[in-house]
Structure 1
Amino acid sequence: MDSSLDVLIYAHDGRGLGHVSRSVGIGLALRRIFPDLSVLLITGCASTAELIGEGSLDWIKLPSYKTSVVCGKSSGVKGNSNIDDKLLGELRARNIRDIVAAYNPRVFLADHTPQGKHKELLPALDVSPATRRVLGIRAVVGEVDKVWSELAQGVFKANYSDILWYGDTSVGGAEEFARLEYHYGVRPYEAGYVSRLAELREFQGSEPEVEKLAGVVSIPWSGEGTAVLLDKLAQTLSGIGAKHGNWHIYMDLREPGVMAAISCFSKLENVSFMQVGPQFLRDLGNSRSAVIYGGYNSLTDVMVCGVPSVVLLRGMKDNEQEKHGAVLAGKSSVIRGVFSDHDVSVVQLRASICACLESSAEVVSVNLNGAAHAARYLAALTGVCDVDCES
């Protein structure tokens, strides 16, 4: 095969960072374990460079999608390019097709769905016929129509050969694994949970000893109830006081209306607001507690660090976070409380955060080596193998 690229990774984008974070983690693992392989990531996520941090992974930026969430249902709106969502999908489809045609990758890894967001991967299926196409799926999909549709099933069977499942049957059982196998007609490869943080730690030097934070809070994207949640959080931290130390709250401070929403913290001198970025991972590893949303990426982060955490759920229609949070809460002692961000009370937040602060870091038994396992699987498909590739 006359190829200019070994592995091309496509990351779904639009809302949250979980899809891109997993893709970055696998890309970093490929570059670390197989430094001679050529690897490229394509996505529209504007935070990709911050997610890669000091890692060695190159990427191509597509114009970003943007998603609005109302009553738990997401819908596309104009992104930073100010191009209509549907038209942007058509334009990105041409971009992706041209990239695949130019680089002619040996292996193409698509995140989440075989057709891509707004079916933008379909035109690329007509080029580079020798490319081995692989679908990557998170541990708990939830009721995402675009994953379980007849279209996705047909596209996969006609153009894809492999599935990487980023889960652990010893944690959540085999139901999701079996459902994927039945729907797509291929037995998935169980890679384990993919953690970008675990990959970044592989090449980070030892950090100097600093005073531990009381905790970190991660709100990577704002929704319709964020202002109310922030007010509850301000009341909670005010009631806990400053005796446990400082808090860092990570948000996208560039989003409209955020600065007004955080004004309720103005009297809390031990609370600082930080822009979402790589510093969050360092702070998380140096924290006694955390408050996170129940996305795949955030859950793997706290499990890698063993930080006792309160998990908030956004109440999306696909129920993915509810299902995943319930599974992990029963298996991982780092998760000390799971609540709806809309319904949680100040009393519940305070009690759960105090329980975290009184706990110590935990060792987690969940398989968190998914990035390395996925990298070895993909490398084997390019024709490269190492002594651990079957592990």
Structure 2
Amino acid sequence: MLFVFIRFSRRMRDISILNTRKGIPIASDRTPKLINIADRTQDNLDSAKLKIAIYSHDTKGLGHMRRNLLISGKISSSFSNSSVLLITGSREINRFRIPEGVDCLTLPSYYKESDDNYKSRSLKVSLDEIVTLRSSIIKETLKSYSPDLFIVDYAAKGGLNELNKTLKYLRKYSSTLCVLGLRDILGDPKYVLKEWNRKKIVDFIDDHYDYVWVYADPGVYNMCEECNLPEQIQSKITFTGYLGHTDLADYKEKRNKYLNFDFSSKKIVLCVLGGGQDGIVLADKFAETKIPRGYVGLLLTGPYMSSKDKDRLRLKINKNPGIKLVEFIPDPIKLFNDAERIISMGGYNTVCELLANKKKALVVPRVNSRREQVLRAEKLSAMGLVDTILPHELSPEWLNEWLKKDIACTDSRSQINMDGLSRMPVLIKSIISENMAKQHNYRDVLSL
């Protein structure tokens, strides 16, 4: 018996060493994830009944939710028997097309105010109460759903730490693989490191996540180098490429559903504000801009712009016949293909869309302490892919001159990896296959 125990101990030590490798480290005090592989081999994963959950807190804007919708759509189209559960804090998800094989759990919502404080959006309860409620819902849902893979967008601990209990449970009791998905730029490196140190994010990621996917090309911005991330985080990171989205299926037939005016005889200048809650400066300047002859301006406000701001914009646009106002389109990519030029803020999703569709673009980034959008705009402008100007430098006259200026359209795909979406199924198959191999090795040890 002693001889068998020694063999077992040595074998477990060897597996621990072999499983610690760049990209997928396994802590020495943890056994491999024992996923249910009864109906799965590395050759039949495409048709396996995979269960995946994807989370975003969605306390401000549409970016996190839209990114997860893109990913869920790619997963569902690539794995025919997959089920994807989107967990979101935004009820606006009901205004978007939900892919086949995907369903949604909408949490009671709270939102971030301009001073970075949070508040319940609808329920007349305290912030602590709504966070506790959301935390319980998420944990009990994932305990019951038991996903093979859990992808968390941006916030490692969830909004206001609401994922802490869930991730601890999954780590201790489940076979779920956990992935943290990050956009290209989190913010100014000094800000990121300060926040991560204050919130002890590095140790938390190391303890609770198997992988970190950065939806970006390190040739544009290398998060590992810029933020000087420690080795235990770098070893988990895979740069997927940007999530370029160009799917325009059925768009021509559906266009009139979104727009009640004909613009077929004119070139389109599209001004996009993302969710719209902080785009009023750009919107005001665009609404006052004289649009060159032969063009029509479309101002897309987004669902979160206040009624007061929209009313003010309508008054301006009523005096400017060259511009039309569109309040909301579930997927603005439907207009990107038709637009001759695009003026936008510097959010990740919008920038991905204008790059993927090879558009002449002006990026007017949001300016705040994080400087995320400013850094993104500066990097892309330095590569000659977009023009950029800061909001306080912008004027209707400047916009008019930019619209009249001859601009070459650069193919971003020759300079930037935009294949993040198409790579997603490959990554998922890879990590599940690798974990299956670990499981087989572990079961071999148990049979000794």
TM-score normalised over the length of structure 2: 0.74
Partner of 1:79: 121
How many angstroms apart in 1 are the aligned matches of 2:221 and 2:341? 24
Change (3 A) 1:347 1:55: farther
Matched, 1:348 2:402: no
Structure 2 CA distance, aligned partners of 1:244 and 1:65?
44
Q: Which residue of 1 aligns with 2:377?
A: 325
Tell me by how many angstroms 1:105 deviates.
Answer: 1.0
Partners of 1:177 and 1:191 lie apart in 2 by 17
Range 297-306 or range 78-87, more displaced:
78-87
Aligned residues of 2:96 and 2:331 also touching (Cα < 8 A): no
**2:337 is equivalent to residue 285 of structure 1:** yes
Q: Report the CA distance shift for 1:266/1:89 in structure 2 as closer, same or farther (over 3 A).
A: same
Are the structure 2 counterparts of residues 190 and 229 from structure 1 closer, same or farther at C-alpha, using a change threshold of 3 Å? closer
Equivalent residue in structure 2 for 1:294, among 340, 346, 370: 346
What displacement does 1:54 show?
A: 5.9
Secondary structure (helix, strand or coil) at the match of 2:133 reads helix
CA separation of 1:339/1:84 partners in 2, compared to 1, >3 Å: closer, same or farther? farther
Checking the alignment, whether the CA contact within 8 Å between 2:135 and 2:165 is kept in structure 1 is yes
Q: Which runs of 5+ in 2 are unaligned?
A: 1-34, 38-48, 256-263, 436-448
- Give the aligned residue type for 1:256: S
In structure 2, do the counterparts of structure 1 residues 77 and 188 end up closer, same or farther at CA, with 3 Å as the change threshold? same
Question: In structure 1, the residue corresponding to 2:339 is in which secondary structure?
Answer: coil
TM alignment of 1:178-327, pairs within 5 A: 179-180=228-229, 182=231, 184=233, 186-195=235-244, 197-198=245-246, 200-201=247-248, 204-205=249-250, 207=252, 210-211=264-265, 213-223=267-277, 226=280, 228-236=281-289, 239-241=290-292, 243-252=293-302, 255-262=306-313, 263-278=315-330, 280-327=332-379
1:123 is aligned to 165
| Residues in 2 aligned to 1:174 and 1:153: alpha-carbon distance in whole angstroms | 14
In terms of mean alpha carbon deviation, does 3-12 or 13-22 score higher? 3-12
In structure 2, what is the equivalent of residue 388 of structure 1?
Answer: none
1:27 Cα shift? 1.1
User: 1:389 corresponds to which residue?
Assistant: none
Match of 2:430 among 380, 384, 387: 380
Report how many aligned residue pairs link the two structures.
370
Per-residue CA deviation, residues 202-228 of structure 1 (Å, 9 max, x unaligned), is xx14737944542111123445672x5
Which deviations, in whole Å up to 9, do the C-alpha atoms of 1:152-185 show, x marking residues without a partner? 2222122211111111022234655773453625
Q: Which deviates the most, 47-56 or 34-43? A: 47-56
> Where does residue 369 of structure 1 map in the other structure?
419
- 1:43 aligns to 2:43 (yes or no): no
CA distance 1:84–1:379, change in 2 (3 Å): farther
Q: Does 1:161 align with 2:161?
A: no
1:172 aligns with 2:221: yes
Give SS of 2:212's match. Answer: strand
* Preserved CA contact (<8 Å) 1:7 1:40: yes
Would you say the 8 A contact 2:61–2:277 is kept in 1? no
For the pair 1:30 / 2:112, whether they are aligned, the reply is: no
Q: Which moved more, 1:264-273 or 1:111-120?
A: 264-273
CA distance in 1, matches of 2:175, 2:345: 40
Residue 65 (structure 1) shift: 2.4
1:20 paired with 2:70, answer no
Amino acid at match of 2:119: V
Question: Is the Cα contact below 8 Å between 1:17 and 1:297 reproduced in 2?
Answer: no
| Deviating more after overlay: 206-215 vs 314-323 | 206-215
Task: Evaluate the alpha carbon distance shift between residue 160 and residue 173 of structure 1 in structure 2; reply closer, same or farther with a 3 A threshold.
Answer: closer
> 1:38 and 1:52 mapped to 2: Cα distance?
16
Structure 1 distance, partners of 2:184, 2:97, is 22
CA distance in 2, matches of 1:56, 1:6: 10
Give the Å deviation of 1:69: 2.1
Counterpart CA distance in 1 for 2:318 and 2:197 is 46
Matched residues in 2 for 1:84 and 1:103: separation?
A: 29
* Larger Rg belongs to: 2
After superposition, the CA RMSD in angstroms is: 2.8
In structure 2, relative to structure 1, the CA distance for the partners of 1:250 and 1:53 (3 Å cut) is farther
**Is contact 1:165–1:177 with CA below 8 Å preserved after alignment?**
no
**Contact conserved, 1:165 with 1:191, CA < 8 A, in 2?**
yes
Q: Per-residue deviation at 1:382?
A: 3.4
**5+ residue gaps, structure 1:** 386-391
